[in-house]
Structure 1
Amino acid sequence: RITGYGAGYGGWRTIVYTLLFVVCLLAVSGFVPLWAMCVIVFAAFLICDRKVFKNVDWGLPLTFCMFFIFIGNMKRVPEFYQLARSLVGGHPLEVAVASSQVISNVPTTILLSGFCDQWRDLIIGTNLGGMGTLIASMASLISYKNVVRQYPHKKGRYLAVYSAVNVLFLAVLLTLSWIIEPSF
């Protein structure tokens, strides 16, 4: 049985959220301007489901915003720009995996996309880079936060097992990517 905020409502909420999802898809597809989507979603939640603003983990979007500000600033530092261009140009897959471990895979994609034209390796690298450390994927941080909230006494064990399994899978998948289609 599903319990918690919003559970058991169905009906009109399902319709509203479905329509908002469609608006978001239209914005991603370019049919609706991004600013309009933001206004529509914000207004819909303000009118239909104001409580949602209280339940948002505001630290997560703030963290993402800070990553994107950091990325924008780093691209303007000439020394970083030259280093990134030389590293990413020669080894986009490996640099994407390594960068994802420190600044997460989505910001890494945006950061490194301006430094190479080897999209295939960059995409594979950032997808693989979502494994490994806890910060490699924001989804991992969300799951960790939920585990800590539910089982605070198990957070150390969860982190150790999570990290070990993810690093192992990352190593296996990275090795397989080199074997299946090596970058030259």
Structure 2
Amino acid sequence: MHLLIGLLLAFAVAASVGLGATLYTLQGGPPFGALSVGPWTAWPRIGTAEIDPYARALIVRSGELPVGAGDGIAFMATRDDDGAVLDGRCDVELTGITPQARFWTLTLYDEDGQLVGNALNRHGFTSQEVVRKSDGAIEIAVAPRARAGNWLPTGGIERYVLILRLYDSPVGVATRTGRETPMPTIKVRSCA
């Protein structure tokens, strides 16, 4: 009888530790195969048959449809270039050039993956509608109050996520280092 109780207790401890470790792993981004370029991170294998089990579980849990490897890649930023968390009460500026792509979108989400609500219904920009500087670079203000030029309203939320999706782009699994992929910089200009 003691052996049976010991086995059941050992099974319960092993199951709770295993399930707890898996849940902890699934709280962040996929743990394997990340491609980081400054504050931007992508998981190029998510849209392929070589997806790892943890990334597959994240997709199932979130219900998101990943960008297929043949279609493009999605980069996510939750911090600026200096490592500070993106705060919707601060004025943040994205500047620079984007990687080569036929088309791209930049979208603002809250921490739960929902579009950030605002009176203008402005949730992002596309490569076709963004106003560029004379050298082709972009300059986008992400701030709670209106700004001249390209402005994404944060609504003053505490934390947000920027997703840059590149469609029909050579950036992906073959890209190994950040040196070869130009990405916009993310800088906090001021905080309220």
TM-score class, shorter = under 0.3
* TM norm structure 2: 0.25
